[in-house]
Amino acid sequence: MSDPQWELSLTAQSAEATHALAAALGAVLEAGDLVILTGELGAGKTTFTQGLGEGLGVRAGIISPTFVLVRIHPNLADGPRPGGPDLVHVDAYRLESAAEIDDIDLENTMDSTVTVVEWGRGRVEHLSDSLLDVELHRPLGASAPAASTQDASAGVLDFDTDDDDEPRTILIRGFGPRWAEQPLLPAALKGNS
């Protein structure tokens, strides 16, 4: 991909603030949008996706798709955006190439959904000429959540209960014609949280 059209750096003071920032962003996302999430374990990728889902008005209960690769979260007819796009949530961590991404056939849903790909950098850019690249960072020296917070039945928790108040830096970059101008983002995203 070429250089970003713009770049925005925000600080979220807690998991709740990360969720709120993502919900504000989710409110402006449209069918066909691609969001790539990057960040170490515990950085808040799933928390961010949960916020996007809230802003999109999809069914609650978003967990990491680590064990199934792809989860589809339908838009709620009685939610804040009835008739809005569904959310396709992908975990590309175990996928090694763009060819493996192509095997899960995201092209068939890209036009009608918002697609969020954790660990997608370098693997999914070919799917769209426009995308948002979101990078989440924990403070230096912070540790990943304990292994006990990773449970196949409950999904992978991105915030351990002991570090909810740790700030996260969230770097958002817009690429392509859809994101040519930063003003498409809500005012809530333009200031630190």
Lowest pLDDT segment from 58-67, 69-78, 85-94, 115-124: 58-67
Q: 47 lies in a domain?
A: yes
Both tokens of 62, joined, read: 């978003």
Both tokens of 14, joined, read: 């807690």
- pLDDT of 107 higher than 50: yes
Q: 104 lies in a domain?
A: yes
Q: 125 lies in a domain?
A: yes
* Cα dihedral 10, 178, 101, 135 in deg (nearest 10): -10
Per-residue pLDDT, 32 = 96
Report the alpha-carbon distance of residue 185 to residue 179 in Å, rounded. 9
Q: 2 lies in a domain?
A: no
CATH of the domain at 105: 3.40.50.300
Q: Which domain covers residue 52, as residue numbers?
A: 9-177
Both tokens of 61, joined, read: 């209960």
Q: 166 lies in a domain?
A: yes
| Residues 6 or more apart whose Cβ sits within 8 Å of residue 161 | none
pLDDT > 70 fraction of the chain, expressed in percent and rounded: 80
pLDDT band at 150 (very low <50, low <70, confident <90, very high): very low
pTM, entire model: 0.83
Q: 185 lies in a domain?
A: no
pLDDT > 90 fraction of the chain, expressed in percent and rounded: 54
In a 10 Å sphere around its CB, with 0-12 CB exposed, 13-18 middle and 19+ buried, how is residue 109 labelled?
middle
- How many structural domains are present in the chain? 1
Q: 3 lies in a domain?
A: no
pLDDT 10s digits, 41-54: 889 999 999 999 99
pLDDT 10s digits, 157-170: 344 444 457 899 99
**C-alpha separations of 18 from 76, 103, 117, 169 in Å:** 22, 32, 17, 9
pLDDT 10s digits, 56-83: 999 988 988 777 788 999 999 998 899 9
Q: 190 lies in a domain?
A: no
